[in-house]
Amino acid sequence: MSFIVNKFKCKGITFFSLLHVTHYSSRFSTAAVASIEPKIPPDFSSCIVQDKDLLLKSLNPSGTGLHVLDLVDEGSLEPHPTLYHLLLKKCTFLRKPKLGKIVHAHISNSLFRGDVVILNTLLNMYAKGGCLDDARNLFDEMSVKDMVTWTTLITAYSQHDRPLDALLLFPQMLSLGFFPNEFTLSSLLKASAALPDTPQIYFHGAQLHGFSFKCGFHSNVYVGSSLLDMYARCGCMDEAHFVFDVLPTKNEVSWNALIAGHARKGQLDRALSLFLKMLRQDFQPTHFTFSSIFGACASTGSLEQGKWVHAHVIKSGGEIIAFMGNTLLHMYAKSGSIQDAKMIFDRLVKRDLVSWNSMLTAYAQHGLGKEAVQCFQKMLNIGLVPNDITFLCLLTACSRAGLLEEGQYYFKSMKRYNIEPGISHYVTIVDLLGRAGLLNEALRFINEMPIQPTAAVWGALLGACRMHKNVEMGSFAAERVFELDPHDSGPHVLLSNIYASSNRWRDAAKVRKLMKESGVKKEPACSWVEIQNTVHMFVASDDSHPQMGAIYKKWEEISARIKEIGYVPDTSHVLFYMDEQEREVKLQYHSEKLALAFALLNSPHGSTIRIKKNIRVCGDCHSAFKFVSKVVGREIIVRDTNRFHHFYDGSCSCGNFW
């Protein structure tokens, strides 16, 4: 491609109007092209500038910075609006705003400094290059603006995480008599959806919805897709469906927004139903579609549905690119299949820092500390620089695997990468020291922290005191938590556990009384298991399931068998004062045991059983599951709020360290 400038003579050679000569063979014959281009002696050939040389730097150190602009200043080329457009578009495409500033300076000294079309192109160059301050300065200096000017800056703010700035421009624009188009409204709605909290999103989004309706843009596919995405992001799925249903024309963006909304709310069934409907209507799912569904599968631990969607990706020939691959990896890890997570990681087309962090998180969730350390070292070996999240994942893995020395070493090494530890990093070190039984060292570490300890820090110490049955320090840590976060039921339950395990029933009763007086309610423990794409949920002493008679009978049978090989019920996990026999009976019908009995009744012999629980797994159930895995010869995977437990052949992957 080349361009030639009109009405200019370079030492007697006349040039034609500025035009692009490209794809000669498709439009002109070789002879025709030869007749278009002037016959220029070799020593004047520099007067024709090729497209590839548009951003060629000045040959003279005292030049403008760009050779083309030097030619203009020398009189070898005549300044022309198309020349500036070409230069700015090139800078925009290549993301080179520094060179664009050189063009800007040249325009400011030219006859076209007030040309709104050129200035809009310049504004777009700054916006696409992320130079929002430069874009705003230019915008404020422009004496003449049109709708493109306002839309360009609004879109720039919307796309670069400055939603409030975008929204503030809207009333200014209206007051000056400008009428928004569908692209303006779409960007404004995206900005409102990016606001930090739900009330703000709804407040601004609903007003924009009303304005769109008045202007007749509500049924436009771009505005409509942005509208339903806005409602979906603030959890208003009924409104999102209403907008979706009235759209006369739908596209992949509108389908993705609705699917993502249900996925964020953990409504996997609705997300999958929409996905199937999308396929039936011949819309092709994108990487964003798959990422949303994998995220929903991860939140519910739905391995079978996740595998089905993964199979669809493979059949459709889609590549496992970074961001979709990361959610797929996360889905397998959260669903209990660390082997599949590792397989996805190994097959990623390109691994970014998020990919490595996702793999470290997976190892941490499954208590595989040594594997996490090896993964971290491989990451360093290929030249990737860790961030604060990397270290948080690594320290968590060390804590859950009991790697005391490694955890302390990596915590200190954060300074080497100029990373200041955050409160979450301090929590992991308290947890690390506490799990290792170094309670005094953990308390000393808290007292020496350079930042004020939070409820989470004291909560980590309280959990360690529960593990090591240190009543005095546990009471002290609990008091600190109550002061900082009086409405969290977890610390109250932990302190009650500590008192109950030490037979201090009166103190345990006082804690429960305090909870009642303060209005603090304990989250009911429940467990669920997925069999043939159906989720079955259980609570302690449940009698609502249609198979409950068979479930109770199955557990009694299993309980008798594991007692024969050494299982002894740990009645210290019963928080109420009652005789030993009553406490043992109460233990036998915990939700995870009922879920296990149901799975044994309804899953194929030898298959892996996967159970999820909404709170920490009970210590007695943990002991019982080890014996059950040996008796039935099956792997049992339990996901609680802390981590995964893989029970197999009488042992657990956590090594009783959880």
Bridge partner residues of 610 (DSSP): 637
Answer whether residue 26 shows pLDDT above 50: no
Q: Which residue has the tokens 């529960």?
A: 466
Token output for 43: 């020593």
Token output for 357: 């962090």
Residue 421: CA atoms inside 13 Å, Cβ hemisphere, count?
A: 22
Of 254, 268, 260, nearest to 288 by C-alpha is: 260
Count up the domains in the chain and report the number. Answer: 2
User: Is 193 or 525 the better-scoring residue by pLDDT?
Assistant: 193
Tell which of 490, 518, 546 closes a domain: 518
Q: What is the mean predicted confidence (pLDDT) over 590-613?
A: 94
Q: What is the mean predicted confidence (pLDDT) over 129-140?
A: 95
Verify that 575 and 637 share a domain, yes or no. yes
Report the C-alpha gap between 207 and 200 in whole angstroms. Answer: 11
Verify that 538 and 477 share a domain, yes or no. no
pLDDT at 228: 93
> Of the ranges 52-66, 98-112, 197-211, 419-433, which one carries the lowest mean pLDDT score?
52-66
pLDDT at 585: 56
Q: Give the C-alpha distances (Å, rounded to integers) separating 116 from 139, 144, 488.
A: 11, 6, 58
Q: What is the mean predicted confidence (pLDDT) over 138-155?
A: 95
Band (pLDDT 50/70/90 cuts) for residue 624 is very high
Verify that 504 and 542 share a domain, yes or no. no
198 found inside a domain: no
Stated as kind and residue range, the H or E segment containing 484 is: helix 471-484
pLDDT at 218: 82
Answer whether residue 13 shows pLDDT above 80: no
Is the separation of the CB atoms in 94 and 130 below 8 Å? no
**High-pLDDT (> 90) share of the chain, %:** 63
Answer whether residue 580 shows pLDDT above 80: no
Report the C-alpha gap between 475 and 458 in whole angstroms. Answer: 11
Beta pairing, strands 526-531 & 49-50: unpaired
Token output for 532: 């043939």
511 found inside a domain: yes
Bridge partner residues of 639 (DSSP): 612, 644
Alpha helices in 316-438 (DSSP H): 322-334, 338-347, 353-365, 369-381, 388-401, 404-413, 423-435
513 found inside a domain: yes
Q: What is the mean predicted confidence (pLDDT) over 381-388?
A: 96
Bridge partner residues of 49 (DSSP): 3
pLDDT at 577: 42
Q: Give the C-alpha distances (Å, rounded to integers) separating 341 from 74, 88, 347, 348, 562.
A: 62, 45, 10, 11, 33
Q: What is the mean predicted confidence (pLDDT) over 599-625?
A: 92
Report the C-alpha gap between 106 and 91 in whole angstroms. Answer: 14
pTM for the full model?
0.78
Band (pLDDT 50/70/90 cuts) for residue 37 is very low
Report the C-alpha gap between 531 and 603 in whole angstroms. Answer: 7
Verify that 474 and 568 share a domain, yes or no. no
Q: What is the mean predicted confidence (pLDDT) over 363-387?
A: 96
Report the C-alpha gap between 591 and 525 in whole angstroms. Answer: 7
Radius of gyration of the chain (CA): 33
322 found inside a domain: no
Range of the domain at 477: 433-518
Band (pLDDT 50/70/90 cuts) for residue 8 is very low
pLDDT at 571: 62
> Of the ranges 102-106, 127-131, 619-623, which one carries the lowest mean pLDDT score?
619-623
Answer whether residue 505 shows pLDDT above 80: no
Is the separation of the CB atoms in 629 and 650 below 8 Å? yes
pLDDT tens digits for 446-473? 999 999 999 999 999 998 998 888 999 9
pLDDT tens digits for 392-434? 999 999 999 999 999 999 999 999 999 999 999 999 999 999 9
Q: What is the mean predicted confidence (pLDDT) over 490-506?
A: 80
106 found inside a domain: no
Can you say how many angstroms the Cα of residue 563 is from the centroid of all Cα atoms in its chain?
A: 45
User: Three-state SS across 568-613?
Assistant: CCCHHHCCCCCCHHHHHHHHCCCHHHHHHHHHHHHCCCCCCEEEEE
Verify that 513 and 531 share a domain, yes or no. no
Verify that 498 and 609 share a domain, yes or no. no
pLDDT at 371: 96
Handedness of CA 61, 66, 69, 75 (dihedral sign): positive
pLDDT tens digits for 288-301? 999 999 999 998 88
pLDDT at 658: 66
Tell which of 497, 518, 539 closes a domain: 518
Of 645, 452, 614, nearest to 540 by C-alpha is: 614
User: Three-state SS across 40-88?
Assistant: CCHHHHHHCEEHHHCCCECCCCCCCCEHHHHHHHHCCCCCCHHHHHHHH
Is the separation of the CB atoms in 625 and 658 below 8 Å? no
Bridge partner residues of 528 (DSSP): 537, 612
536 found inside a domain: yes
Which residues, other chains included, contact 94 with Cβ-Cβ below 8 Å and sequence gap of 6+?
Answer: 55
Is the separation of the CB atoms in 287 and 324 below 8 Å? yes
What is the residue-averaged pLDDT of the chain? 86
Answer whether residue 372 shows pLDDT above 50: yes
Verify that 542 and 506 share a domain, yes or no. no
pLDDT tens digits for 537-548? 999 877 888 999
Verify that 457 and 530 share a domain, yes or no. no
Q: Which residue has the tokens 């005391």?
A: 404
pLDDT at 62: 85
pLDDT at 587: 66
Report the C-alpha gap between 41 and 471 in whole angstroms. Answer: 96
pLDDT at 657: 67
Of 629, 562, 618, nearest to 589 by C-alpha is: 618
Q: What angle do CA 611, 269, 593 make, to 5 degrees?
A: 15
114 found inside a domain: no
Verify that 540 and 646 share a domain, yes or no. yes
Q: What is the mean predicted confidence (pLDDT) over 23-43?
A: 32
Of 497, 486, 495, nearest to 519 by C-alpha is: 486
CATH for 464: 1.25.40.10
Verify that 474 and 557 share a domain, yes or no. no
Q: Looking at this protein, which amino acid is placed at residue 207?
A: Q
Tell which of 518, 547, 578 closes a domain: 518
Verify that 534 and 643 share a domain, yes or no. yes
Verify that 640 and 547 share a domain, yes or no. yes
> Of the ranges 204-208, 590-594, 639-643, which one carries the lowest mean pLDDT score?
639-643
Of 351, 305, 369, nearest to 331 by C-alpha is: 305
Report the C-alpha gap between 624 and 647 in whole angstroms. Answer: 10
469 found inside a domain: yes
Answer whether residue 520 shows pLDDT above 80: no
pLDDT at 157: 96
Band (pLDDT 50/70/90 cuts) for residue 11 is very low
Q: What is the mean predicted confidence (pLDDT) over 265-271?
A: 91
Report the C-alpha gap between 30 and 17 in whole angstroms. Answer: 20
**High-pLDDT (> 70) share of the chain, %:** 90
Q: Which residue has the tokens 């024709």?
A: 48
pLDDT tens digits for 301-355? 888 899 999 999 988 887 787 788 999 999 999 999 999 999 999 998 889 999 9
pLDDT at 32: 33
Q: Max alpha carbon distance in the chain (Å)?
A: 112
